[in-house]
Amino acid sequence: MRCFIVAGSVTLAAGLMACGGGSECGPGTHDEDGVCVVDEESDADTDSDADSDSDSDSDADADTDSDADADADTDTDTDTAGYIALGSGGWHGCALPSTGIAECWGRDDLGQVSDAPTTALTTVAGGEYHNCGLGSDGAITCWGDDTNQQVSAAPTGSYTALDGGFGHTCALDEAGAFKCWGWNDDGQVSNAPPGGGFSVVSAGYDHGCALDSWGAVVCWGADGEGQVSNAPTGGVYTDLSAGYRHGCAIDSTGAIVCWGIDAYGQVTKVPEGSNFETVSAGDYHDCALDSGGAITCWGSDVHGQVTGTPEGSGFKVLSAGTDHACAIDSYGGVECWGSDLYEQVSEAP
């Protein structure tokens, strides 16, 4: 669904659906046309003022200036280092600065923002209402919605990649073998392929997909829209992403192929060209990065998730959420576009 991935990694995320990664609505939250329906929320901010008397003006000014300088230095350091990983969830997002401490924003009804860990991570993946990340030792940390034990059932051990779906997550261990946990109504957990050697994994709404050691696409789980049975056969692929009941992959020539539900052209309106390197599938829209770091998006544009795509090149990381997307630019800054219902765009760091 939505992915999350460190620049230079073999996957992109969550998605990978991420990527990635949580880019789907829950059961009963689509209208008759299949579009996600949610309620708006609002937040309030508070301000405070401080005064000092004339006898201490000089000292107070000096202290204030000193504090301001320290803050400016801190901001400069963060901006210079930039963000290194990113994961878009349902209506929220998380990014990792160089410190590895997750910064999350957007919808927070289940702790998917406020419960972010204070330990350093190297990778982060956004699910619909939860997130998971990897530490430098490969250990998995998850937070947010635990309705289907997508947080509490996270496995122990060392892993190299992971991605969050609607209510489940899948990870690859050091041998390239699967471990999936969480929501399993359609076999998206229990039917993960056995064996090892898998290099890329992506969790969709109710299915999952991966690349095996030969670069072939393997999918499992629900197949109501052909998101499993219509996956491409033959050929060699270098990246893939599972979204809401569809998936997309990039073949060895850099061309994109998609399959599954096509309500908004997320399958048939795939961009032409053979210079794409990474892809991230959302609910009804998808985005890809080409070799120059330029972003192309297609599919549903109800919330500007296509026409609002940032121009230019040099983007390094890309992650599509339910009806928004985010990317890390050449300076390490985070740019988001699309729906801002829960400030998943305007509150990005």
Question: What pLDDT band is residue 81 in, cutting at 50, 70 and 90?
Answer: low
Sign of dihedral through CA atoms 130, 277, 247, 210? negative
Determine if residue 200 is left, alpha or beta; phi over 0 gives left, psi from -120 to 50 gives alpha, anything else beta.
beta
> How far apart are the C-alpha atoms of 217 and 37, rounded to whole Å?
32
Question: What pLDDT band is residue 102 in, cutting at 50, 70 and 90?
Answer: very high
According to DSSP, the residues that pair with 126 across neighbouring strands are 131
**pLDDT at 286 exceeding the cut of 60:** yes
Q: Which of 78, 80, 107, 96 is nearest to 13 (CA)?
A: 96
**pLDDT at 259 exceeding the cut of 60:** yes
Count CA atoms within 13 Å of residue 152 on its CB side. Answer: 5
CA angle, residues 163, 339, 25, in degrees to nearest 5: 50
Q: Which of 141, 146, 116, 115 is nearest to 128 (CA)?
A: 146
Collapsed DSSP state (helix, strand, coil) of residue 47 = coil
Q: How many CB atoms are located within 10 Å of the residue 130 CB?
A: 32
Q: In the prediction, which pLDDT does 326 show?
A: 98
Phi/psi of residue 65, nearest 5 degrees: -60, -40
Chain segment 214-248, per-residue pLDDT in tens: 999 999 999 999 999 999 999 999 999 999 999 99
Phi/psi of residue 30, nearest 5 degrees: -110, 145
Where do we find the tokens 């992403």?
Answer: 241
Collapsed DSSP state (helix, strand, coil) of residue 94 = strand
Chain segment 83-97, per-residue pLDDT in tens: 999 999 999 999 999
Single-letter amino acid code for the residue at 129: Y
pTM: 0.79
Collapsed DSSP state (helix, strand, coil) of residue 178 = strand
Chain segment 132-185, per-residue pLDDT in tens: 999 999 999 999 999 999 999 999 999 999 999 999 999 999 999 999 999 999
